[in-house]
Structure formats: structure tokens, C-alpha cells
């Protein structure tokens, strides 16, 4: 397989685009495409302050590297969840995130859930006696809350996550099987700011996981290879494995699934958030002041009610 641009040996073949590239041209292609998606979905500009959720894994470090090279003003936020096990997973991944930031002189904000709130994610899950998928849903709730709060406290214009196409397609499949119209109305690459929620963007949402992984490897960025121990056996992983099987037989399946969904979303197929920012502004959690749909204590604060 030869690179379409220069004829040298290709290192990656993207069957859905019928495009093979050598390392040099791949390292150009991925940032160019990222820039294209940022502009297409009007995510953010170079004049704005951005906060990226950094996990120490391949996707978030690849995205931080790309945005930094493209000249965007991005700080990182690492949330230490207190997931240890035999791998000392959280502390290890924090070290990779810190090393990346130090080498490029970038700002990384570190937050520790146990130090901040008195309990780690596994401890909260154990206290509330939830199963494995519930541990992930608690973890997701805590991360979203801290991420939004940190962005508001730090006056950031937008929060960025490194969700890739595999993540988005798996969530889409899960929400479709549940016919969760409310969630299906919130899958855009860009969610505008409103009512205390900071603007949220996903510049990598059209890249396959293997594409961001290839970027990290070719750039020689060290990252945590182990997966979080709670991801094994999760519903999300199950959907990803199924989608991979379909992709193997029908290249481009995931991309078509996601892009056709975005078209349906644009055409109003799913209900979008109805409340105006002013209405949502009235609905703040009395404990933490973050927005909540009901106007009562938010789900995050309820987690810590004993």
C-alpha cells in the first residue's frame, strides 16, 4: 500500500475514505481535518480560552497536541478519580498527562475527587452499592460536574473533550436501542453555552479510534496503554465491539451511522433542549449553584447526601 500523496510506503489505510498515507502525510492530514471540523461546526476560535479534559490516554493527548500545534489557547484539566487496583490507574495516567504538559510548557489543572469531596469514585460506588455500569455512570456524572464547574470558575469560553467516532457511534447505538429521544437530541459535535452550561465541543468526533491512536504513536507521545479496569464488560465496550464487527464487513458503517444521524438532527428529527438560557438560569441547585433541570438539588450533590 502506497501513500496517495507521495507514493512512499503507507502506514495507515483508511478504507472509509479510500485513502492511504505515509507517516509524514498522515501527521499533516489529521490536524488539517481537525481544523476543518472546528470550522465546519463553528466550535471555537484562536481568540478564545479552551479547557480540555485530559485523561492521560491516547485520544486526549493527541487532541491536545493537535490543538497546540494549530495555535489554539488550550489548558488541560486532569480529574484524578482515585481508581487504583493493581495498576494504580489514576496516578499513572496523571503522570502521563503531567509529562505531556511539562514537555510543552502547557498548563494542566489537577483535581482529585477524594481530596475535594472526601470519597473516590470506587468509594462512592461502594457506598451507594451500585453495579459496574453504575460506577461508570457515577463517574461520568462527577466528571461532567467538575468539568463544567472548573470551566466556569476559570472563565473558559469552551470545554473540549476528545470523544472519537467509536465513542459517539457506541453512545448513538445505545440511545437508539433505548429510543431515548431526549439523549438523541444532545449528540451534536457542538453544544452551545446556556443557563450555566459552558459551550462543549468534540473536535475528534469524526475520527476513528485507530486514527487518533495512529497519530499518538507516530508523534511518539507517551500515554497510558491500560484501560480503566471498570471499562471491561461495560455496555459501551459491548456496543463498540459489535460496531467493529459491522465495520470489518462494511467499511464506513460507523461514519455513515454518525453523519446520517447529524443530518437527521439538523432536520429536527429529535427534540432539542427547549428551555431558554434565561429559564435555565432560574433553575440552579441550591447547594452548588450549577444548573439543574428540576431546580432542586442536582444529581451530583444528591450523590453526597448521606
Annotated binding site: 3, 6, 22, 25, 285, 288, 298, 301
Residue ranges for the known binding site for Zn(2+) are: 3, 6, 22, 25, 285, 288, 298, 301
- Which stretch, 19-27, 61-69, 135-143, 254-262, contacts ligand Q46 (CB under 6 A)? 135-143
What is residue 259's three-state secondary structure?
A: helix
- Which stretch, 17-25, 136-144, 175-183, 248-256, contacts ligand Q46 (CB under 6 A)? 136-144
Q: By CB under 6 A, name the one of 30, 113, 139, 280 that touches ligand Q46.
A: 139
Q: By CB under 6 A, name the one of 26, 223, 230, 257 that touches ligand Q46.
A: 230
Q: How far is CA 11 from CA 2, 59, 209, 223, 228, in A?
A: 8, 19, 16, 20, 28
Separation between Cα atoms, residue 244 and residue 246, nearest integer Å: 5
- The position carrying cell 479534559 is 53
Residue 295 in the binding site for ligand Q46 (CB under 6 A): no
Q: By CB under 6 A, name the one of 60, 80, 135, 164 that touches ligand Q46.
A: 135
Cell numbers of 118, please? 472526601
Cβ proximity of 106 and 70 under 8 Å: no
Query: Could you tell me how many residues make up the chain?
Result: 306
Q: How far apart are CB 140 and ligand Q46 at their closest, in Å? A: 5
List, in sequence order, every beta strand (DSSP E) within the chain. Answer: 12-14, 19-21, 49-53, 73-80, 108-112, 158-160, 190-191, 199-201
Angle, CA of 301, 302 and 303, to the nearest 5°: 90
Cell numbers of 291, please? 444548573
Residue 222 in the binding site for ligand Q46 (CB under 6 A): no
Cβ proximity of 247 and 254 under 8 Å: yes
Q: Find which of Zn ion, ligand Q46, none residue 22 binds, CB within 5 to 8 Å per kind.
A: Zn ion
> 261-269: long-range contacts at Cβ-Cβ below 8 A with a sequence spacing of 24 or more?
261/172, 261/184, 261/187, 262/187, 262/188, 262/189, 265/184, 265/185, 265/187, 265/188
Q: How far apart are CB 62 and ligand Q46 at their closest, in Å? A: 16
Q: How far apart are CB 26 and Zn ion at their closest, in Å? A: 8
Q: Which residues contact Zn ion (rule: CB under 5 A)?
A: 3, 5-6, 8, 22, 25, 285, 287-288, 298, 301
Cβ proximity of 248 and 67 under 8 Å: no
Residue 228 in the binding site for ligand Q46 (CB under 6 A): yes
- Which stretch, 38-46, 223-231, 278-286, 289-297, contacts ligand Q46 (CB under 6 A)? 223-231
How many residues in the shown chain lie near ligand Q46 by CB under 6 A?
Answer: 8
- Which stretch, 20-28, 60-68, 227-235, 249-257, contacts ligand Q46 (CB under 6 A)? 227-235
Cβ closest to ligand Q46, residue 53 vs residue 201: 53
Q: By CB under 6 A, name the one of 53, 62, 63, 136 that touches ligand Q46.
A: 136
Binding site for ligand Q46 (CB under 6 A): 121, 135-136, 139-140, 228, 230-231
Amino acid at each position: 500500500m502506497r501513500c496517495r500523496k507521495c507514493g512512499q510506503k503507507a502506514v495507515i489505510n483508511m478504507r472509509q475514505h479510500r485513502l492511504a498515507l505515509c507517516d509524514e502525510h498522515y501527521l499533516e492530514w489529521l490536524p488539517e481535518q481537525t481544523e476543518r471540523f472546528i470550522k465546519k461546526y463553528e466550535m471555537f476560535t484562536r481568540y478564545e480560552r479552551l479547557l480540555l479534559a485530559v485523561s492521560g490516554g491516547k485520544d486526549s493527548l493527541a487532541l491536545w497536541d493537535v490543538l497546540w500545534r494549530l495555535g489554539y489557547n488550550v489548558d488541560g484539566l486532569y480529574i484524578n478519580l482515585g481508581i487504583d487496583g493493581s495498576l494504580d490507574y489514576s496516578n499513572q495516567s496523571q503522570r502521563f498527562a503531567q509529562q505531556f504538559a511539562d514537555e510543552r510548557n502547557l498548563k494542566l489543572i489537577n483535581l482529585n475527587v477524594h481530596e475535594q469531596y472526601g470519597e473516590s469514585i470506587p468509594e462512592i460506588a461502594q457506598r451507594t452499592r451500585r453495579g459496574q455500569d453504575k460506577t461508570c455512570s457515577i463517574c461520568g456524572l462527577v466528571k461532567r460536574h467538575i468539568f463544567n464547574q472548573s470551566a466556569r470558575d476559570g472563565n473558559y469560553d469552551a470545554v473540549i473533550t476528545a470523544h472519537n467516532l467509536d465513542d459517539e457511534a457506541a453512545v448513538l447505538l445505545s440511545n437508539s436501542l433505548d429510543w431515548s429521544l431526549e439523549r438523541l437530541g444532545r449528540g451534536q459535535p457542538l453544544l452551545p453555552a446556556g443557563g450555566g452550561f459552558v459551550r462543549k465541543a468534540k473536535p475528534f468526533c469524526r475520527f476513528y479510534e485507530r486514527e487518533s491512536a495512529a497519530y499518538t504513536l507516530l508523534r511518539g507521545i507517551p500515554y497510558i496503554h491500560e484501560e480503566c479496569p471498570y471499562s471491561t464488560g461495560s455496555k459501551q465496550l459491548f456496543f463498540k465491539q459489535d460496531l467493529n464487527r459491522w465495520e470489518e464487513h462494511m467499511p464506513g458503517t460507523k461514519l455513515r451511522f454518525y453523519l446520517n444521524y447529524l443530518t437527521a438532527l439538523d432536520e429536527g428529527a429529535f427534540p432539542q433542549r427547549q428551555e431558554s438560557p434565561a429559564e435555565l438560569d432560574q433553575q440552579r441547585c441550591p447547594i452548588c449553584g450549577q444548573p439543574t433541570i428540576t431546580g432542586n438539588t442536582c444529581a451530583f450533590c444528591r450523590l453526597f447526601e448521606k
